[in-house]
Structure formats: structure tokens, C-alpha cells
Chains A and B, each alone.
Chain A
């Protein structure tokens, strides 16, 4: 009898434990490198917001754990033969978190909202390939004239201005996410508040305390809810990276998407392979003012580029959290072969000899030096980088001086086409395509700070834009990079970014990828 009671107790406790295990809430605490500017997908632009919005909303296409394109709110799509019309078939039965169906009309409404001047969306340009988008943003056409049409509740037709092979990649950006027409019309700007917001992604918004935390709860109405394991995800803004690492160490955070690079060696000892570093689609570069003497001479630009020891910058200044760059387009874009500079494979000593020779030919020696001012935005590592370059160029007869200003002043100055010799800038990919980088050197482009202008280069970009065949197109873009970057140095690529984050061993499903995106729906604990 005694035995029976004991085994009964044991059975019960096992049952309770299993049940407890099965129903225990799975909570993920994510450190995010800042507080979102907004939770309105159409009013945001940075990765800080993207990390949260990706969990809340589901665009037409989505990205899997490896950042590869997968169907999102659209189950499938077809592209017309001329490459100009995309027809998206929405997922049958997909609903918003309030139970109402996600319709093609919601997308029409959302995209008209993105491009309309009243919204003043910073990332309206994500939809510029669509017919009339640019004109609507500029105020010359009405939002209703945008090239999107709801054929029926489940079919969306999009018409483009020209063949845009990277259009689907662009649709992974949060600025293209749908919003519920009924929801936005009901609450106006307040639709993003907890309790008001209706979303169609794997999670819904539960709480938002600015600068403290954002809580998302698993949405039962998400089409793939059965495969979403994390029940609750908390995003904590972690502006202070050192403090974030301490919170990670204490177990308060399961992951954080940044760390103080100067602590890398120490962290590797402490955290082992919980420290994640890998290539990221971003380039750190300097731009010469190419329309001003003497910097309009590509030969001079090449000599200076050769003399910069990128290995030293990556290893010593950036503690190996950056990778030496000899092309503008970073590695990691499928089917694209970069065109590195001719001296990419030379040793640094040989490069310096060659640079000396060119500079002497141009009349610059330590006795008759050339003055060059580097402009950069204030940051310890930008300063260290500029100081290292100053030292590297000194023996070659280049006298470097520096001017640093805060970010808004720096970019305001560059944008207003202020006068400078060479300036620091960077580009982080909005979508996975070489065009996103190479457009930086297009004549008249807003981010073409160096004012590079070359008909052949522009021609190659235009040709690529009109080419539908992916392989041919990549070939043309490769030629463009060869001409504009490798030969002309429209910008001087210095380093490629890498992602550097900490992810607890208890988090499963974290896949390294060049976009450094990790949707919570693919993670578990």
C-alpha cells in the first residue's frame, strides 16, 4: 500500500512537471542597440526598428533564419515576361491580429501611405521602382496613381517603371510592410500604441515603455504560429555596450547585437563561442572630392589608397571586428563577383613603393609635401582610423590634418556639397544587391559626396538596371565596379563591417548571415 501511494505521488509529480514544462512560458530577452524612433513601419529606417518590426509584421516576402528570401504575406508571385508587372497571391486565410483578413487593399493603402508627401516617410525610396512613386513623393501626382492594384481581396498587382531585379529584396525592408487600413484610419498616428496596434506578423505588441522595454507576445493568428516557439520577447535598448555585456553575463539578456570591440579578447575567454563575429553587408570608406584639384586625378587617389595599410586598420584599430576592403561591394551577395583594386594581392611594402613612385612622379615628396584634410564624424574609432592613416601617409609626403564634427554637422556639410579634401562615410546595405552600393557613385546621387561623375559608369549602371537576366546583370555590375571603384576610386573602400554580437548558448536557431537579421520566430530556448 505504501508503495502504491509513493508511486502515485511520483506519477503525479512527473505529470505535473511535464505539464509545467509544456506550458512554461518561453521568454526571450533581446538587447537591441537603441530605442526605436517609431513603431510605425513606414516612419522608420534603421536596423534598430527593423529588428522589432520584423517580429510584428509580415511583408509580402520575408527572410528566413539565414536571411534568404521566403514567401511572407504572399504565398506566391509571378513576374510578367517584360519584368515590369509582379502579381502577388496573398496567403489564403491570413488575418490581422484582430481577426480581420489581410487583403490586397491593405497593401495598396499601406504603399500609398508610404509614398505620400504627408507621411514624409524617410524610406519612401524603397518603393521608387513602382510606377509614379517618385512623382507622388515629390507632390506632382496623387497617391491613388501609384502602380499598385488590388485585383481582388487576395491578389495584388504591382507595376514597375523598369526591370528591377532586386525589387523582391527591397520588399524585405520594413518600409514596405502592410498596415491595416481599418486600424490606421481608426487610431491615426496612435495606431502604434500597445492596445491599439493590429499587426500581421508572428508577434503582437503588448507593452512599450520608451527607453525601457518593448514586449511582444506570440500571435495565435499568425499563419505559421505552430512553428513559433518563443512566447514572449522583450527588447531592451542597450545604448551602453559595456553595460549590455554585463547584463548578458548576469543572464538578464539572452542576446545583444553589439559589444565593445576593445573587450573582444577578454570576452572570448569569458563567453567562448557565444561571441559571434562574421561578415556584414556594410562598407567603411573615404571619399575624395573628385571634382576638385588635385583630387580629380585618379592616379593620385590610387597612390593614397595604396599607401593605406588596411590590415593595420582592421587588426590594430578595430581589433579584427572589421575586414580589410579592396572593393566597394562587400562579399556575401549571391552570384556577384567583386572587382578588387589591382593591388589587392600585393604586399603592403610593394604598395608603398608603388605609391611613392606615383607621388614622386606627381611632384610630392616629404620635402615638397601635399596637404590633405580628413573630415570625419566624431567617434573614438573614426579618430583612431584617421590618426593611423595620417601616420601611414606621412613618409610618402602627404601631410594629413583632421577635422571632426558631430554626425549631423558632418553629414549636413557633405550633403550641402561643402568643400573638403577627403571625408569619411559608410554604407550599410538596405537590401542584398550590389546596386545598393554602386549607386553611391552615380552622377548626382544624394550620397555621392565626392561628386564623382563618369558617363561610362552611369551607362553601365543603366544597362544593368535594364537587364533582366541575373547572371548577365551581375556581370555588368562587376564591370561597373571595375571602372568606378577599382580604376577611378570614386570612393576609397577601407574596411568591411562585420556583425559582432553575443548570443547565449541557450538560444537555439541563431544562424549567422551577412544581413545580421535574426527573426524571433526562428529562435527557441
Chain B
């Protein structure tokens, strides 16, 4: 297993290199540049800015410099936030996005699994229909509707939570963002779990277990759920990479200082270094979570062996 993990980590290096290279050049093909605003700059000032950020060098040289710098952990300065380096921006924003994303991930997975199991055990009964209805609603109502509705209901009408703001990380300020982040995930997990649980309950080994007279608890929790949880693991890996790197909608509606906003803002502003920073972060998260998923497969399913 250890060898497998090491091998996967080593193959991540060329993968990252390819991602960085392709993104670097793709981004530079986009028309316009970081200093094109409604108010045009005079050529001398623009030239000074380009010199300051070394954008006046030939593209291949900029690319080599960039590679050299990121190997040393230097992601460069942000053009739109000249007071901060890209690394500083992620150092302040990423922990906040991770905190909200991880909470949403854990809650949605645990609750989703529970809902799915209940629905599967009560198939075609009231509880099942309730779960299906909730899951359908959860996955069809977009975040940009859920978030403002939450604010209208729980903040303005009921006055239970503040409308927005981070409040230096107060628990009450996180309720809305976490709920908004988790609802769509909860819906997917519940539906997936219901489907795979129904399938699992009909399988031969469960029939055998029942015939052997095992307790309901043991059948459901130890045998049926174990197999049924595999699709959840496959889904939760990539979903985690998305959740933990923040959401622009949730962050701008609730005024959360995470990094989700940069995915769009940086690209629109042609803030090249910040765009590259977000690409690297997402790529890393995706690689790491895919690895975790593969390891979990082996833990959960005894048939999976990597050595």
C-alpha cells in the first residue's frame, strides 16, 4: 500500500507539470491583459507596470521564470492585489474555504448516507418519498437561489443568524454558508446511497446473511452498507476538491473571505499569477483526493489490492 501511495505521489509531479504548462499558455492566449480597464492607461505607465511584473519579457522566458519560482514555492505577486503575494492570498483565504467546505462535506456525507439508508430500508414508503423529494429539490435548486432564500428566511424574517459577514469566524456566521454548500451535496449523496443500498440489499451475500439469521443491525450496517458506500466514496473525492476550494456564489452572497471568488475574478481581471495559483491549488486538491479515494477503496473493499 505504501508503495502504491508513493508511486501515485511521484506520478503527480509530471501531471502537475503538464497542468501548469497547459494553463500557462492557454491563459496567455486570452485577449486583453491585466491592465485593460474602462479607463485606459497611457503607454508609458502601462510599460512601467509590465516591466514591474516582468510581462515585458518574451513569453518563453516568463514561463521558465514561473516554473523556477513555483518550484521554490514562490507563486509571484498578484496584479490586482499588489500588496499581497499569491501565496499570502491563499494563506489567508484557503483555511476559511477549507473549514466551511470540510464541515459541509462531512455533514452532507454523514446525513446523506443516513437518509439514503433509511429510504432504501423503507423503499416506496413515506420516508422514502420524503427523501427522494428532498433530494430532488436539493439538487435542482441552485446555490444562488438557496443562499438568498436562507438570508431572507433565517436572517431577515426569523433573525436567528446574521445576513452576512465572516464575523471573525463566529459559529453563527458559518451556518448559512455551510448549509448552502452542503444541501446540493446532501441531495446527491442521499440519492446515490439509496440506489446502491437497494441494490446491495438485494444481493446474494445479504440473502445468505439473512438465511444465516444474522441480526438486522449486522446485516444493514456491517454487510449491506459496506458495499453500498463505494459509489459515495467515488463521488465524494472529486466533490471534496470542489467544496474545499470554495464557492464564488456562497462567498460573495455571504461575504466570506475565502478563495472561491478568485476562480472567476482572477480570470476576468487577467491576474495571471493568481489564475495560475488557483489552477495549482485545485489540481493539487484533485490529485490528493483521488488518491484518498483509491486508498479508501482498499480499506472498505477487501477485494481491492494495490500491491
The answer to whether A and B come from one shared complex is yes
Q: Which residues of A contact B (CB under 8 A)?
A: 37-40, 43, 45, 117-122, 124-125, 134, 137-139, 189, 192-193, 209-213, 236-240, 242-243, 246-247, 249-250, 252, 405-415, 425-428, 446-447
User: How far apart are the CA atoms of A5 and B163 in the complex, in Å?
Assistant: 46
Choose from A137, A411, A415 the contact partner of B44 (Cβ within 8 Å): A137
A409 to B40, CA, bound (A): 13
Q: Check: B16 CB closer than 8 A to any chain A CB.
A: no
Question: Which of A122, A246, A409 contacts B32 (CB under 8 A)?
Answer: A409
Most central of B49, B92, B255, B261 by chain A CB within 10 Å: B255
Which of A39, A122, A125 has most chain B Cβ within 10 Å? A122
Contact B257 A212 (CB under 8 A): yes
Stretch binding the partner chain, chosen from B79-87, B122-130, B190-198, B293-301: B79-87
CB contacts (< 8 Å) of A242 on chain B: these are 148, 253
Any A CB within 8 A of the CB of B270: yes
B57 to chain A, nearest CB (A): 15
Further 8 A-B residue pairs, CB within 8 A, beyond A236-B255, A252-B162, A427-B38: A43-B82, A45-B39, A118-B48, A243-B255, A247-B255, A408-B270, A415-B36, A447-B40
Are A408 and B42 within 8 A (Cβ)?
no
CA gap between A40 and B45 in the complex, in Å: 17
B206 at the interface (CB under 8 A from A): no
- Contacting A at CB under 8 A, from B60-115, are 80-84, 89, 92-93
Quick one: closest A residue to B162, CB to CB? A252
In the complex, A407→B156 CA distance in Å?
35
Chain A residue at minimal CB-CB distance from B50: A120
From B32, B253, B258, give the contact of A240 (CB < 8 A). B253
A213 near B44: Cβ-Cβ < 8 Å:
no
Q: Is B45 in contact with A407, judged by CB distance below 8 angstroms?
A: no
Chain A residues whose C-beta falls within 8 Å of the C-beta of B81 in the assembled complex: 37-38, 210
The answer to whether B43 touches A446, judged by C-beta atoms less than 8 angstroms apart, is yes
With an 8 A cutoff between CB atoms, is B227 at the interface? no
B151 within 8 Å of A (CB atoms): yes
Q: Does B252 count as interface, using CB distance less than 8 angstroms?
A: yes
Contacting residues of chain B (1-54) with chain A, CB-CB under 8 angstroms? 30-45, 48-49, 51-52
- A sample of 25 cross-chain residue pairs with beta-carbon separation below 8 angstroms, ordered by A number, consists of A37-B82, A38-B83, A117-B51, A120-B52, A134-B44, A138-B44, A192-B83, A209-B168, A210-B93, A211-B258, A236-B165, A243-B164, A243-B254, A247-B165, A252-B163, A406-B268, A407-B32, A407-B268, A408-B33, A408-B269, A411-B38, A412-B33, A446-B41, A446-B42, A447-B39
B255 near A238: Cβ-Cβ < 8 Å: yes
Check A210/B257 contact, CB under 8 A, given A120-B48, A246-B152, A411-B40: yes
Q: Roughly how many angstroms separate A405 CA and B151 CA in the complex, as a whole number?
A: 32
CB distance from A524 to the nearest CB of B (A): 23
CB distance from A350 to the nearest CB of B (A): 34
- Interface size class of chain B, counting residues whose CB lies under 8 Å from the partner chain: 35 or more
Among B31, B155, B261, the one with the most A-chain Cβ atoms within 10 Å of its Cβ is B31
**A212 partner residues in chain B, CB cutoff 8 A:** 165-166, 255-257
What B residues does A139 contact at CB under 8 A?
44, 48
Q: How far is the CA of A408 from the CA of B275 in the complex (A)?
A: 14
- The complex places the Cα of A500 from the Cα of B59 at a distance, in Å, of 44
Q: How far is the CB of B275 from chain A (nearest CB, A)?
A: 12
Please determine whether A426 and B42 come into contact, CB atoms closer than 8 angstroms: no
- 5 tightest CB-CB pairs across the interface, nearest first? A412-B32, A408-B32, A211-B257, A412-B36, A212-B257
Complex Cα gap A415–B159 (Å) = 50
Q: Given A122-B49, A209-B166, A246-B164, A411–B36 Cβ distance below 8 Å?
A: yes
How close is A43's CB to chain B, nearest CB, in angstroms? 5
Determine the distance from Cα of A139 to Cα of B45 in the docked complex, in whole angstroms: 10
For B138-179 the 0/1 string (1 means CB < 8 A from A) is: 000000000110011001100100111110100000000000
B36: chain A residues at CB < 8 Å are 407-412, 415
Write the chain B residue with the least CB distance to A448. Answer: B40
Which chain B positions have C-beta within 8 A of A410?
32, 36
CB neighbours of B148 from chain A (8 A) = 242-243, 246
B41 partner residues in chain A, CB cutoff 8 A: 122, 446
User: In whole angstroms, how far apart are the Cα atoms of A410 and B32 in the complex?
Assistant: 7
CB proximity of A433 to chain B, nearest CB, Å: 16
| Residues from chain B with Cβ under 8 Å of A412 in the complex | 31-33, 36
Judging by beta carbons under 8 Å apart, are A40 and B32 in contact? no
Provide the bound-state CA to CA distance between A406 and B38, in Å. Answer: 11
Please, which residues of chain B bring their CB within 8 A of the CB of A415? 36, 40
